[in-house]
Amino acid sequence: MLLNIFQYGFAGVAGLCLLGAWLSRSKRSVFAWAALSAGAAAIAAHYHVFWALATFGLMVPWALLCVGPWIDFAWRAKTGFVLFLALGSALAIYPTYHDERYGRPVHTGLSSEEVAEQETQARAGELGFSRFLTSNIPFRLVRGLDLKGGLRLVYTVDVDEAISDKRDRYYDDLRAALAKSFGFHEGDKPPTIEEMQKLQTKLRIEKSREQADTIAITFNDPADSEKINDEFLAKFLHELQLQRSADRRVAKFRIRDEVSSNIRERAVSQAKETVLRRVDGLGLKEASVSTRDEDVIIEVPGDDEAAFTTIREIISQTARLEFKMVDDDQDFFEPIARSAKEEDLPKGLTFSIENAPVGPGKTKPVHFARMVRAEHEEMRDTLKRLREWVGTLQVPADNEIGFGKLYEYDEEKDAIEEIGWRTYFLFSKAEITGDMVRDAQALPDQSEGGLGGWYVSMDFTPTGADRFEDITGRNVKRRFAIILDEKVESAPVIQTKIGGGRAQITMGSQNPDQQLQDARKLELVLRSGALPAPISPSNEQRIGPSLGKDAIQQSMKGAIASGLLVVVFMVVIYSRAGLIADIAVIFNLILQVAVLAMFGASMTLPGIAGLVLTMGIAVDANVLINERIREELRNGKSPRAAVDIGYDKAFSAILDGHVTTLISGLILAQYGTGPIKGFAITLIVGIAISLFTGVVCTRLMFDWAVRGRKIKTLSLG
């Protein structure tokens, strides 16, 4: 309904402007601009493109203002631009004003489908103008934790997993050193799978299942234990301690206690830094991140449940990225599939066969387990049941079971849907890890045969690129599993050696919008870095304002009082010129609030302080201008000449003052976090807007007085 009104209304305005262009040759270009803007707005309304409708719609009064007879075209164009910004700011601020005064819409008693339908109607303008704006404008300026409260999340870092990771790296180093000692491997590159298989004829090296910090080596021939000599131990004993059995057949390496303590502390510290980078990457949330023992505490201001859900997903994703070879030479599940009885298997578990590539021109039938989710069962619960069953199997020490999603095409819905999980038999050694990724970027799939989906492109570090090229060169026509947070995202076949240090992760088979959301989340977590260990939620609660009601009221009174004092001071000292400065300051505040709302910022007490500070900076610019104009008037200049010269002479001093303050704000924004960063961002925005309002907007008002009204005397107090 509302969109139809906009469509036909702007179409009518476009027609009238075209008529004006035909009747007035001197104003033809301006009328044409107005007609094009109105026509574009009408088209945007027809196709339900809100931001195009808003942008082109607000251009119409800008263009029409230029049609008038006032002063000259340059002044009208600048004034029209200021009007465009003012209307745009009001549009950006309105959802914040509405939510603060009336609250967000409450959907009690409605199903998710009914809520979605209602939102669709609101975005189409069928529920009134207010709902039309609040539904189409997603950003809000919310009060921060100190003023309103928000969400408090507590996550516990699995430090034992961090210790286990350290142990696993030493496991790989020990195997490589032993392969060299026995003469099975040479050079600095990691041993190949074939070389590791030769090593197994001499010994058995195992990672303890019960102790996360222990590695046991059992030699087939006790005499081979002499390979572990002083030269061998030189690079291991600074962090490991060695225990030998009486017959010297078994050597146990254990991470030292002081090293374990350092790993625990470092894991919690790195988890805090990574979580903070992820939250900051979502926008200006002014989140507070702190630690307590092995807990990471995140406090996020606001009350937007959708934003909280996104934050939970981003924070809890470990982003542990690994590339592992699929071991298709062994058909691990074949004897299990042949001997298992259906009644002994979990519900929904079956076995299938696929032709797996095992080298150039070679394939081999390989069994894998698949578990289809039960009706009304969540995918994570299906995966949990499959993991529990796999936990009962005897998997070789050098192998592990990976899990990837199962997809199926639904003809009724004409969509590919997730139906469960499947297994992959992998080598446990990670050939490439996430710390070898330098950058990540979400990109659309524009390849031939692509379905318009999204993927995440990764650039490797030089070490990762060399490693990736070496691995792909040695494993042509074999599957290479890409594993993210212990789930196989894909297992593509290596077609040829891949140089250049680039790889990509596809986003499954969901609809393109969902793929885009998943790709952007993955891009964020890969760029911010993987967590050093998994984290799990241990507590969650909504919290009230950290400042008491009295403190908030006193702070607001102080901010309002200081602002009013500035306004009154300018009027008293500079009379009408002071009033012009006050109008510019108020417009400055409106623009600042609009920009911060577009950032999705949280307004805290430091942010309010930043706003008040920029008011003083904005007024300072006008003080310089007014004093310069006074000086020129005392020298006998006419009002118009005094205004021109006054602005020219004051500009360099104004620019210097703004630039020095901007540098301070940039440093605070770069190195500050939480409230400090919020203050810095508010200050930077205020500085940029202050320069515009103090120099451009006030000049337009002075020009209206001296050039439009052609007054003989300026009122400067």
pLDDT in tens, 120-141: 888 888 888 888 888 888 888 8
* Stretch (H or E) spanning 273: helix 257-281
> Are residue 47 and residue 179 in the same domain, yes or no?
no
> Are residue 411 and residue 555 in the same domain, yes or no?
no
Task: Give Cβ neighbours of residue 314 (< 8 Å, ≥ 6 apart).
Answer: 278, 279, 282, 521, 524, 525
Confidence of residue 106 (pLDDT cuts 50, 70, 90): low
pLDDT in tens, 53-76: 999 999 999 999 998 888 888 999
3-state SS string over 179-214?
HHHCCCCCCCCCCCHHHHHHHCCCEEEEECCCCCCE
Is pLDDT above 70 for 366? yes
What pLDDT score was predicted for residue 390? 92
Confidence of residue 548 (pLDDT cuts 50, 70, 90): low
Q: Which of 1-10, 361-370, 426-435, 544-553 has the lowest mean pLDDT?
A: 544-553
Q: Are 299 and 145 in contact (CB under 8 A)?
A: yes
For the sheet with 349-359, list strands across it: 349-359, 362-372, 415-427, 399-410, 487-490, 480-484, 321-325, 432-433
> Are residue 110 and residue 192 in the same domain, yes or no?
no
Amino acid letter, 607 = G
Alpha-carbon distance of 103 to 43, in angstroms, equals 32
What pLDDT score was predicted for residue 385? 92
408 has which bridge partners? 417
Instruction: Compute the average pLDDT of residues 27-54.
Output: 91
What pLDDT score was predicted for residue 35? 93
Q: How long a stretch of residues is the chain?
A: 717
Q: 346 lies in a domain?
A: yes
Alpha-carbon distance of 564 to 592, in angstroms, equals 18
pLDDT in tens, 519-532: 776 776 676 666 77
Is pLDDT above 80 for 80? yes
Q: What is the DSSP letter of 105?
A: P
Instruction: Compute the average pLDDT of residues 581-605.
Output: 85
User: Total domain count for the chain?
Assistant: 4
pLDDT in tens, 230-240: 888 888 888 89
> Are residue 589 and residue 696 in the same domain, yes or no?
yes
Spacing of C-alpha 114 from chain mean position: 29
Task: Give Cβ neighbours of residue 251 (< 8 Å, ≥ 6 apart).
Answer: 216, 217, 219, 225, 228, 242, 243, 244, 245
Alpha helices, DSSP H, located in 206-252: 230-233
Rounded to 5 degrees, what angle do the CA atoms 300, 305, 308 make? 40
Q: Measure CA of the first residue to CA of the last residue in the chain; give whole Å.
A: 54
The closest of 53, 92, 19 to 591, measured between CA atoms, is 92
> What is the torsion angle, in degrees rounded to the nearest 10, for the CA atoms of residue 689, residue 691, residue 697 and residue 703?
-170
Spacing of C-alpha 561 from chain mean position: 38
Alpha-carbon distance of 301 to 303, in angstroms, equals 7
Q: 67 lies in a domain?
A: yes
Is pLDDT above 80 for 32? yes
How far from 318 is each of 83, 214, 285, 334, CA to CA, in Å? Answer: 48, 24, 21, 33
Q: Are 518 and 507 in contact (CB under 8 A)?
A: yes
Q: 18 lies in a domain?
A: yes
Q: Are 294 and 156 in contact (CB under 8 A)?
A: yes
Amino acid letter, 302 = G
What pLDDT score was predicted for residue 108? 64
Confidence of residue 675 (pLDDT cuts 50, 70, 90): low
Provide Rg for the chain, Cα atoms.
Answer: 34
For 312, the token pair is 């939970």
Q: Are 312 and 300 in contact (CB under 8 A)?
A: no
Residue given tokens 């500070």 in the structure block: 613
What pLDDT score was predicted for residue 546? 60
List, as one string, the DSSP characters of 488-500: EEE--B--S---S
For 133, the token pair is 């704006």
> Are residue 476 and residue 337 in the same domain, yes or no?
yes
> Are residue 64 and residue 200 in the same domain, yes or no?
no
Alpha-carbon distance of 716 to 581, in angstroms, equals 11
Rounded to 5 degrees, what angle do the CA atoms 355, 357, 360 make? 140
What pLDDT score was predicted for residue 12? 92
Instruction: Compute the average pLDDT of residues 351-361.
Output: 90
Q: 61 lies in a domain?
A: yes
Looking up residue 644, the CATH number of its domain turns out to be 1.20.1640.10
> Are residue 364 and residue 392 in the same domain, yes or no?
yes
User: Is the pTM for the entire model greater than 0.85?
Assistant: no
> Are residue 189 and residue 235 in the same domain, yes or no?
yes
> Are residue 409 and residue 452 in the same domain, yes or no?
yes
Is pLDDT above 90 for 2? no
Instruction: Compute the average pLDDT of residues 639-650.
Output: 89
pLDDT in tens, 437-467: 777 888 887 665 555 577 788 888 888 888 8
Alpha-carbon distance of 134 to 102, in angstroms, equals 12
Q: 273 lies in a domain?
A: no
pLDDT in tens, 279-326: 776 654 566 788 888 888 887 777 667 777 777 877 777 667 788 999
What pLDDT score was predicted for residue 285? 54
The closest of 116, 350, 165 to 270, measured between CA atoms, is 165
Alpha-carbon distance of 43 to 663, in angstroms, equals 44
Domain boundary among 216, 242, 259: 259
**Average confidence score pLDDT of the chain:** 83
**Highest averaged pLDDT of the listed ranges 98-107, 555-564, 579-588, 610-619:** 579-588
Domain boundary among 451, 471, 506: 506
Domain boundary among 506, 533, 563: 506
> Are residue 225 and residue 132 in the same domain, yes or no?
no
> Are residue 87 and residue 136 in the same domain, yes or no?
yes
Q: 425 lies in a domain?
A: yes
Instruction: Compute the average pLDDT of residues 85-100.
Output: 90
SS3 of residue 119 by DSSP:
helix
Alpha-carbon distance of 423 to 353, in angstroms, equals 11
Q: Do the bridges between strand 602-603 and strand 142-143 make them parallel or antiparallel, or are there none, so unpaired?
A: parallel
The closest of 195, 155, 388 to 275, measured between CA atoms, is 155
> Are residue 349 and residue 472 in the same domain, yes or no?
yes
Alpha-carbon distance of 156 to 473, in angstroms, equals 41
Q: Which of 201-210, 214-223, 251-260, 672-681 has the lowest mean pLDDT?
A: 672-681
Q: 303 lies in a domain?
A: no
Q: 531 lies in a domain?
A: no
What pLDDT score was predicted for residue 286? 60
- What's the domain range around 344? 321-506
